[in-house]
Amino acid sequence: MNETWNVSQDALVNAWQTELPEYLNPGDTAVVRADLANPHSLRVHIDVEGRQDYSFDFQCSYMDRREVQVNLVDVEREGQTVNERSEQVQNLAEDYVRHIHECAQALHRITNPT
């Protein structure tokens, strides 16, 4: 990121932790943490509500003040790593990536104030 960044990682984590649940499916839970390796990135852990018992870990990196890149890091089911290529897991992951992008857009008021 080459532009001036005026938002602390702690402020981002707090904003995301507050805002992200509004974009998830009812019953899903999320924990947002700072990515200690990159001050412009966050780690997002989502526990999927229901019998499937999936959990997803994403890295959400700010490319600039408006755009985020979201990468799937890990998927677990009942505490065991699962094949991330299965159709069900891919569909769930795509859904959560979309929710993460929606949350990032809502947080433009913090990252890209006019």
pLDDT tens-digit profile of 65-104?
Answer: 889 999 999 999 988 999 889 999 999 999 999 999 999 9
Q: pTM above the 0.75 mark?
A: yes
Structural domains in the chain, sorted by start: 9-111 (3.30.310)
Q: Collect all residues with Cβ–Cβ distance below 8 Å to 65 and sequence separation of at least 6.
A: 3, 5, 108, 111, 112
Query: Distances from the Cα of 50 to the Cαs of 6, 15, 68, 86, in angstroms?
Result: 39, 26, 28, 18
Whole-number average pLDDT of the chain: 92
